[in-house]
Amino acid sequence: MKQRTLKSSFGFEGIGLHTGRKVTVKVNPAPANSGILFSRVDLDPALKVRASHENVRSDEMRQTALVVGTGLVRTIEHLMSAFHALGVDNAWIEIDGEEVPGMDGSAQEFTRLILDAGFEEQNAERNFLEIKEPVFVDHGDQSIMIVPAPDLQVSYTLSYHDADLEDQYMTVTILPEIYERELAPARTFCLKKEAEQLLAMGFGKGANPSNTLIFERNRPVQNELRFANEACRHKIVDILGDLFLSGKFIRGHVIAQRTGHSLNLELVRKLAMTLDPNADLMSKKTLTVEEIQKIIPHRYPFLFVDRIENFEPGLRATGWKQVTMNDYFFQGHFPGHPVMPGVLIVEAMAQVGGVIMLGEPENRGKIAYFMSVDQVKWRSPVKPGDSLRMEVEVLKKRSKFGQCSGKAYVGDQLVCEADVKFAVVDA
């Protein structure tokens, strides 16, 4: 099956359910293998961040929020759900604020706009995540699991144990026409007592009875149900949106009870670690030399980093190089007075920068090439026996290049500093 993007762009605007602010959004076609990309055009129009579980801010309540540069894009789950169910592999979303508009609280308007825009098949194979064995997350009365199945199915049990919302259940096979008819119109919801608590905490500023089902005594306040089990159906909409943060279309049967976004994302992360043995590298703070070699292509005798600490992909890291008399460059570089060549200190810092840049999910498997080196200063010689510590952080990053600032130390002595710019290209 081939990947698909949109045939044409479309736009919409509205109020964020949580922020209460008006936001304008434009959804565009995107190249094959891009995934779903978000840009905060009010902050950094050139920066495109993939909608991936690695880029999700994990401390948000009752929403899925993506970290985009110095800001966030909140409440992406309903739009992501529509992309997932309708079969959109690649799209680029430009947004001028921090929350996707809530519209009527459902995915219905997003579904209509996507279908009106149409689809364009692309010359790349679709990425499927096929479940081979059960994967589950169990938090007692909340649980979600996925088991092998030939297509995507979801079974959901909603049980709040509360008189304001009776138990509900639904099981459904996810197909575009079923999603459009049976799931997309289902609106977000909460109990009346929860709504009061959320407002007190600063959430739900744009929510009202017209875009949120507020349940009291098992009926929505100032509204009418579209389905008897509308709350349960909306939970399935949320699951589909959160599962698409895996970056793949899933073949499996999801069985969930009382889940929310945090539990859904826990399942996605567990799936990534189960199916990709290298996926947990990006969650590590310390990398061995073997793990470094899984990220950058350098090998002996041109690998100058022995260990990475304080690893934050796309942001910063600390690299270590133990300088020994056995390093090959001492054979000809001042044999009577051995000093590590200054250009190799810069190269070592650049390799740490490469690990930071290529550690991001969208850059996995790519290569970082030097574009330029600026502000280079050598302060003190580095000799055999020294432990070279390299503090490197990202100054700028785009989809095709990045710039890092590095400082190298021996103990507390600054020995070298430089700014390095990379081009990030396919291997």
Residue 75, pLDDT above cutoff 60 = yes
Cα–Cα dist 360/383, whole Å: 33
Residue keyed to tokens 């194979």: 125
> Around 120, how many Cα atoms within 13 Å sit in the side-chain half-sphere?
15
Phi-psi region of 33 (alpha: psi -120 to 50; beta: other; left: phi over 0): left
Over residues 375-396, mean pLDDT: 95
Supply the pLDDT for residue 277. Answer: 53
Over residues 10-37, mean pLDDT: 96
Identify the CA nearest to 55 among candidates 43, 78, 41, 37: 37
Supply the pLDDT for residue 60. Answer: 65
Residue 31, pLDDT above cutoff 80 = yes
192 vs 274: which has the higher pLDDT: 192
Q: Which two tokens stand for residue 366?
A: 């790519």
Query: Which residues form the catalytic set?
Result: 261, 333
Strand order in the sheet with 49-50: 10-15, 22-29, 91-95, 36-40, 49-50
Cα angle for residues 147, 153, 158 (degrees, 5° grid): 90
417 vs 205: which has the higher pLDDT: 417
Supply the pLDDT for residue 58. Answer: 67
Over residues 59-77, mean pLDDT: 88
| 203 to 56, 194, 338: CA distances (angstroms) | 18, 11, 62
- With bands split at pLDDT 50, 70 and 90, how would you rate the model's confidence at 203? low
Fold exhibited by the domain 281-426: Thiol Ester Dehydrase; Chain A (3.10.129)
Identify the CA nearest to 65 among candidates 20, 16, 30, 108: 16
Identify the CA nearest to 234 among candidates 179, 314, 291: 179
Supply the pLDDT for residue 335. Answer: 87
Supply the pLDDT for residue 278. Answer: 56
Cα–Cα dist 379/397, whole Å: 28
Supply the pLDDT for residue 98. Answer: 95
Average pLDDT of the chain is 92
Q: Give the rounded percent of residues in the chain with a pLDDT score beyond 90.
A: 74
Q: Which two tokens stand for residue 152?
A: 């995507």
- Contact between residue 25 and residue 95 where contact means Cβ atoms under 8 Å apart: yes
pLDDT tens digits along 350-360: 999 999 998 87
Q: Which two tokens stand for residue 65?
A: 């929020």
Q: Domain 2-276 - what CATH class?
A: alpha beta
Residue 102, pLDDT above cutoff 60 = yes
The residue ranges of every structural domain in the chain are: 2-276, 281-426
DSSP SS3 for 245: helix
Q: Which two tokens stand for residue 189?
A: 């919801």
pLDDT tens digits along 237-289: 999 999 999 999 999 999 999 999 999 999 998 888 766 555 556 667 899 99
Residue 87, pLDDT above cutoff 70 = yes
One DSSP character per residue, 306-326 reads SEEEEEETTTEEEEEEE--TT
> Which segment of 37-51, 220-234, 396-410 scores lowest on mean pLDDT?
396-410
Residue keyed to tokens 């169990």: 138
pLDDT tens digits along 110-151: 999 999 999 999 999 998 999 999 999 998 889 999 999 999
Chain CA centroid to CA 190, Å: 26
Q: Are strands 219-220 and 213-216 parallel, antiparallel or unpaired?
A: antiparallel
Cα–Cα dist 97/75, whole Å: 12
Residue 427, pLDDT above cutoff 70 = no
Beta bridge partners of 167: none
Neighbour-count burial of 188, counting CB atoms closer than 10 A to its CB (0-12 exposed, 13-18 middle, 19+ buried): buried
